[in-house]
Amino acid sequence: MGANCSSACNRFCCNFEDLNDQSETQSLLAKNERDAVDLIVQLFGERETRYVDFYEPRPMEALSTLAYSGELRLQRSAALAYSEITEQDVRPVTEEMIQPILYLLRVPSLDVQKNASAALGNLTRCRCITNLATADENKEAIANSGALIPLLRLAKSSEIRVQRNAVGALMNMTHTEKTRELLVRSGAIPVLVSLLSSPDHDVEYYCATALSNIAVGEQHRQILAEKEPALGPELIRLMSSEDVRVKSQATLALRNLASHEIYQRDLIRQGVLIPLRVQMVSGKDLVELAAVACLRNLSILEENEVPIVNAGFLPPLIAKLDYSGYIYWSEMVTHIVAILRNLTSGDHPSSDESQHVIVKEGALKHMKYILEDTSVDDAIKNEVCATLGALASNSSLKAQIVNEGLLEVFIHLTSSQSHDVQISSASAIAYLATEYDDYTPIIALWNQPADGIKGYLESFLVSDIPEFRYVAIFTVLVFLRSQNGDIAYLIYNQSSIGSLLDDVARQENGAIYESGGVTSDPNSGFPRSFTGSTDEQYIPLQTTLSEQNQTPDIPRTGASSEGLPTQTFLPCPEYMDPSYEDESEHHYRQLQMSGMISEISAIVQGMDSTKNHESMGGGR
């Protein structure tokens, strides 16, 4: 700090001594102006050896006197003083302090404008955590003071130093929602967009950052989409900048824009994928992270799946699931897994193709490591389970997922400390079992590891959390739909699942239980003492209400600078009558559970009828 103070003092002393040497100018100064000059020179000299508080009334009054004087040299000195003071010490601004600086912004001198705008930039900059509250207060005070219009005017200055300081101050005021709104109302967006083509990298960086922050708000993204058609192409161009800060910030701005469906579609057409692919393998961690976050939002739109896959993103994305060399691995892998989830969640040929490429590139191995690592955040594991659930819905990939050992991993995760991970892993098991030809691995894991599949189904069915009961019921339904006698035997003879389903039916829908329940007669030969095998034939159920929706789409997920929300996915068989479309989510789940329990009851009764028919000689 001493060197900085010495430099500042030298500049001031030289400036004021030069002024004092001009006797003619000195004689024209009013006494209060001469006194102000003397005080400021004295205080800057004393700052070499002691702390000087320039925010006290006397120094502030002296600086105000110099700012409002009609003498350009005094105004230049005042602007320089404000710039130096705020560089070293940021305080909450007052009307008495801000108004002289605003006045100096209008002085027709590039030096004065440069230093006055620098002072405003300093007052809005958060340089350390202790200044956070002060900086935010100052941003709003400055924005409300009328400073935005002169700053926007200076942002268009032909003098690059003035322009740089003005745009820097504007950028600093985009960090709070209130000031962003004031900036938009003041007409900042067209100015910032036009300056993206500045020859100065600092100006490009400040503008890209400001626009990225403005794009955080949904209403502002809509304005940008409707009124600034040049924004996307300009940011795409900046992705190839030689300045790492600029290319990284341009990509982050595109990430925020890509939260809007219009940009998700338009950016692909405008050629964003090629530079995005280059950035993703640039070897620069922050640039790669920004690129992956942007791609995550672009992958939300289903029609973008084919161009993304065809652009060759999957191999490098999957390679980055490895741990080696990434400072921001946790953030990186969160985005990557979400991209894979989005690219595998559709119900069309391109999603099927993407799923096979993902498995071919070795994603299963990487995702297994992630799920087994106890240091990995639960939010990441939740996303991984959701992605694997989507892959497990593909009948041609089920065996590979099982052979990779992921079924055992899912079973372990059903006892996770995270409810989201428990539900997502159990849902992945349900998807894996849906229309699966070979139930041998499922039967082998019925009682192990830990308590196996039986253990988590029993635990989920007695849970107070509706989603746990829901996914357990769905899983039992999937098992019984398979018409596999061995799994039916395990459910009703080697566990308490049957009686627990009765309990759930009683809780969720008394009418179902009263009309027969899941097992109409606890003492009947089936299913309590069922001893069938997988070779037996059963009467197919003709009244399944969800036959066309056994493997529903999994929710797509995006990234935002406001945070990266996680979603727990649940299988969603459709039992809903259209008249229930306005029901609450809780009631919706209740109705779905009732539908599933009804179907389980029908399957069991069908099996029971078949067994009784065969026992009377009517079987084949």
- Res 541: pLDDT: 25
The answer as to whether 405 is a domain residue is yes
Three-state secondary structure of 110-149: HHHHHHHHHHHHHHHCCCCHHHHHHHHHHHHHHHHCCCHH
- Res 599: pLDDT: 85
Greater pLDDT, 520 or 43: 43
Question: What residue has token string 């935010």?
Answer: 136
Distance CA 6, CA 13 (A): 10
Distance CA 331, CA 333 (A): 6
- Res 576: pLDDT: 37
The answer as to whether 479 is a domain residue is yes
- Res 610: pLDDT: 55
Bridge partner list, 560: 563
- Res 424: pLDDT: 95
Which phi and psi (to 5°) does residue 563 adopt? 140, 165
The answer as to whether 278 is a domain residue is no
List CB contacts of 376: < 8 A, sequence separation 6 or more. Answer: 330, 370
User: What tokens were used for 50?
Assistant: 């002691």
Triad 405, 407, 408: Cα angle to 5°: 75
Give the DSSP letter string of 51-86: ---TTSHHHHHHHHHHHHSS-HHHHHHHHHHHHHHH
Greater pLDDT, 13 or 454: 454
The answer as to whether 486 is a domain residue is yes
Dihedral in degrees, nearest 10, Cα atoms 218, 222, 223, 224 = 100
- Res 2: pLDDT: 45
Mean pLDDT of 9-33: 61
The answer as to whether 345 is a domain residue is no
Is the predicted pLDDT of residue 540 greater than 60, yes or no? no
Tell me how crowded residue 7 is: count the other CB atoms within 10 A of its CB.
11
Q: How confident is the model at residue 216 (pLDDT cuts 50, 70, 90)?
A: very high
Per this entry, what is the length of the chain? 620
Amino acid letter at 222?
Answer: Q
Between 42-51, 218-227, 404-413, the lowest mean confidence (pLDDT) is in 42-51
Question: What residue has token string 């008249």?
Answer: 579
The answer as to whether 159 is a domain residue is yes
Name the 3-class secondary structure at 434: coil
- Res 301: pLDDT: 93
Domain containing residue 8: CATH number: 1.25.10.10
- Res 389: pLDDT: 93
Distance CA 110, CA 161 (A): 8
- Res 388: pLDDT: 95
Domain containing residue 417: CATH number: 1.25.10
Give per-residue pLDDT as tens, 306-339: 999 999 999 999 999 986 667 788 899 999 999 9
Distance CA 241, CA 197 (A): 11
Q: Is 583 left (phi over 0), alpha (psi -120 to 50) or beta?
A: beta
Sign of the alpha-carbon dihedral angle for 372, 375, 381, 382: positive
Which of residues 147, 164, 186 is at a domain's end?
Answer: 186
C-alpha dist (Å) from residue 375 to 167, 335, 418, 604? 42, 18, 13, 43
Containing structural domain, residue 107? 1-186
Q: How confident is the model at residue 454 (pLDDT cuts 50, 70, 90)?
A: very high
Bridge partner list, 485: none
- Res 503: pLDDT: 86
User: Is residue 555 within 8 Å of 345, Cβ to Cβ?
Assistant: yes
Q: List the one residue out of 523, 460, 468, 539 whose CA is nearest residue 497.
A: 460
The answer as to whether 239 is a domain residue is no
Q: Give the long-range contacts of residues 577-582, CB within 8 A, separation 24 or more.
A: none
Is the predicted pLDDT of residue 131 greater than 60, yes or no? no
The answer as to whether 430 is a domain residue is yes
Q: List the one residue out of 452, 449, 473, 451 whose CA is nearest residue 461.
A: 473
Which phi and psi (to 5°) does residue 560 adopt? -145, 150
C-alpha dist (Å) from residue 234 to 188, 193, 246? 17, 8, 12
What's the mean pLDDT when you consider all of the chain?
A: 81
Element (H, E) at 443: helix 440-444
Between 39-43, 132-136, 231-235, 364-368, the lowest mean confidence (pLDDT) is in 132-136
Greater pLDDT, 428 or 141: 428
Q: List the one residue out of 537, 533, 439 whose CA is nearest residue 485.
A: 533
Task: Count the domains in the chain.
Answer: 2
User: Is residue 92 within 8 Å of 139, Cβ to Cβ?
Assistant: no
User: Is residue 521 within 8 Å of 498, Cβ to Cβ?
Assistant: no
- Res 10: pLDDT: 58
Which of residues 186, 220, 251 is at a domain's end?
Answer: 186
Q: How confident is the model at residue 344 (pLDDT cuts 50, 70, 90)?
A: confident
Name the 3-class secondary structure at 560: strand
Mean pLDDT of 54-79: 92
Between 118-122, 234-238, 469-473, the lowest mean confidence (pLDDT) is in 118-122
- Res 504: pLDDT: 85
Greater pLDDT, 41 or 194: 194
Distance CA 52, CA 49 (A): 9
Which of residues 142, 171, 186 is at a domain's end?
Answer: 186
C-alpha dist (Å) from residue 93 to 60, 86, 581? 12, 10, 53
Q: Is the peptide bond before 449 cis (omega within 30 degrees of 0)?
A: yes
Give per-residue pLDDT as tens, 153-194: 989 988 898 899 889 989 988 988 998 999 999 999 999 999
- Res 135: pLDDT: 63
List CB contacts of 180: < 8 A, sequence separation 6 or more. Answer: 173, 174, 213, 214, 216, 217, 220
Q: How confident is the model at residue 620 (pLDDT cuts 50, 70, 90)?
A: very low
Give per-residue pLDDT as tens, 480-537: 999 888 999 999 888 899 899 888 888 765 544 444 444 433 333 233 333 333 333 2
Give per-residue pLDDT as tens, 347-389: 667 788 889 999 999 999 999 999 999 999 999 999 999 999 9
Distance CA 471, CA 477 (A): 10
Q: List the one residue out of 126, 175, 173, 125 whose CA is nearest residue 149.
A: 173
